[in-house]
Structure 1
Amino acid sequence: MYLQNPAATALHELQTAPWVRFAALALSSIFFLVDPFAAIGSFLAITANADAEKRSRMARKACITCFIVLTSFALCGQLIFRMFGITLPAFEVAGGLILLLIGLDMLEAKRSATQEASGDTEEASHKEDAGIVPLGIPMLAGPGAISSVMVLVGQVPKFFGYEMGLILGAITVTCLISYFVLAAAGRIRLVLGETGIRILVRIMGLLLVALAMQFFVNGLTDLGVIAKQ
């Protein structure tokens, strides 16, 4: 008689648990869109004349700004939906299109125009403190990251459910990782090199395109355009 390994069974149950799947979706979608690795080049250009302490302080301010912006949209997402009469399927389709455009830009190893407009880096390099704008927003907390958070919030059945906690947790983890990446941007660039960073951004872009298509398909399915399987 075949007996299942208890450890393997427990691992399978953990992997298929709804909260684990939702946590993985929330963290991957938010992190790929904040994408601190793609911001390394711009961050180093903006902080070219700054010392290590000021560079770390600017990275911290950028990530705190990103946290405040994304958390605000997470907490107010349901209210925004009701205020403007926006349905989740419509936002999933719109959000999927935005993520697709950003993902396609990432496949070419470049920042999307929604995250970094032409001239932003040069202009910010002359600012005394560019941690809030443009580093915090829109380079980290851009339209794509905000759209992803809004789509995730739209899937939360109860405001005080575990899903909301997972979304806020994913935002927190993403911002913490982003701080460490930007604070160590110089060392990361030396270790990975321009080629390594471009490869990493392209991989994240490919995963983001797949995620965008999933949002798009979910929206069309909820609208009844595509039959449910």
Structure 2
Amino acid sequence: MDVIVTHAISVFMGFFAIMNPIANTPVFLGLTSEETHEQRKKVALMALALSFIIVAVFAVAGKMIFDLFGITLPAFRITGGVLVALVGYHMLQGGQHSSIQHPSDEDKESSMDAIMNIAISPLAMPILAGPGTIATAINFSSSGRISDLVVTVGAFFVLCLISYIFFIFGEKFVRYLGDNGIKVVTRLMGLILAVIGVQMLIAGIGGAITQLH
């Protein structure tokens, strides 16, 4: 029993280090800075639910999926890095979701669709369930034992709950920042996201070079 608990803690800390809810909270706030409280809750719930599904699927059949499509982890990291860097650049330029920040009555439905798209990309993939998170899930569940699979999926589920709490209560910071503060945070998070994307890109290229040699 002690071995299982120790392993579960190790798995949880591994996921926590990769998908850090503390670091991701300002990113989430930057991406949803002018949405309402209800919209922000929907985005957080959908993003984390999709992240859980993605990680659970890769924990169960990750190696098989990669082999089936001929995908390598470096290629996955390179693609994810490009996507994250582009989102960060967009935020840095102040072009963040202008079409959904002040929706009219006529385009309210399409605006909600755009908000939900934020939850799918870039939040769920590749920020939350990115290459590092997926690789971690595959590594922890690669033994083939049911107990390792259950611990891996369970640990990530707990982390998703914690992340949801961080995302929702992080809204309180928005009230104190005001409009100008939100713009500064958005651009700062855009810079950080761009750097994270470049770092993922470098890691992917390094991995690809290593595989070639």
The two structures have a TM-score, normalised by structure 2, of 0.67
- Per the alignment, residue 158 of structure 1 pairs with 140
Residue aligned with 2:20, SS: helix
Q: String of CA shifts for 1:146-193, please: whole Å, max 9, x gaps.
A: 1241402124413237776665444333332223345x5xx834x212
Per the alignment, residue 57 of structure 2 pairs with: 76
Describe how 1:168-183 pairs up with structure 2 within 5 A. Answer: 168-181=157-170
Report the CA distance shift for 1:95/1:128 in structure 2 as closer, same or farther (over 3 A): closer
Q: Displacement, 1:90? A: 0.3
What's 2:75 paired with? Answer: 90
Please list, as runs of the form range in 1=range in 2, the aligned pairs for 1:192-207 lying within 5 A after superposition.
192-207=177-192
Which residue, out of 39, 43, 68, partners 1:62?
43
CA distance 1:128–1:96, change in 2 (3 Å): closer
Secondary structure of 2:140's partner?
coil
Which of 126, 136, 139 pairs up with 1:147? 126
Give the number of equivalent residue pairs. 188
CA–CA separation in structure 1 for the residues paired with 2:85 and 2:197: 5
Instruction: Tell me which residue corresponds to 1:24.
Output: 17
Residue of structure 1 equivalent to 2:3: none
Deviation at 1:223, TM superposition (A): 1.0
Q: Distance in 1 between matches of 2:22 and 2:153?
A: 15
Find 1:37's aligned residue among 27, 30, 33: 30
User: 1:61: how far off?
Assistant: 3.4
Q: Which moved more, 1:78-87 or 1:96-105?
A: 78-87
Unaligned stretches of 5+ residues in structure 2: 1-9, 142-147
**Higher deviation after alignment, 216-225 or 161-170:** 161-170
Q: Percent identity?
A: 20
* TM-score, with length taken from structure 1: 0.63
| C-alpha distance in 1 between matches for 2:156 and 2:178 | 32
CA distance in 1, matches of 2:203, 2:140: 20
CA distance in 2, matches of 1:66, 1:155: 19
**Uncovered stretches (5+) of structure 1, i.e. residues with no partner:** 1-16, 45-54
Aligned residue identity for 2:29? P
Q: Which has the higher helix share?
A: 2
SS in 2 for 1:142: helix
State the alpha-carbon separation in 1 of the partners of residues 12 and 52 from structure 2.
19
Q: 1:29 to 1:215 in 2, by over 3 A?
A: farther
Which secondary structure state, in structure 2, belongs to the residue aligned with residue 35 of structure 1? helix
CA distance in 2, matches of 1:21, 1:204: 23
Higher relative contact order (CA 8 A, sep 6+): 2
CA distance in 1, matches of 2:91, 2:26: 10
TM-superposed deviation, 1:80: 4.1
Q: Say whether the 8 Å CA contact 1:105–1:205 is kept in structure 2.
A: yes
Q: 1:100–1:213: 8 Å Cα contact kept in structure 2?
A: yes
Query: What is the one-letter code of the residue matched to 2:119?
Result: L
- Per-residue deviation, residues 26-72 of structure 1 (Å, max 9, x unmatched): 1169826962333131x14xxxxxxxxxx54x543333222221211
Which letter does structure 2 place at the counterpart of 1:60? K
How far apart are the structure 2 equivalents of 1:66 and 1:19? Answer: 19
Aligned counterparts of 2:86 and 2:55: Cα–Cα separation in 1 = 22
Separation in 1, partners of 2:124, 2:114: 15
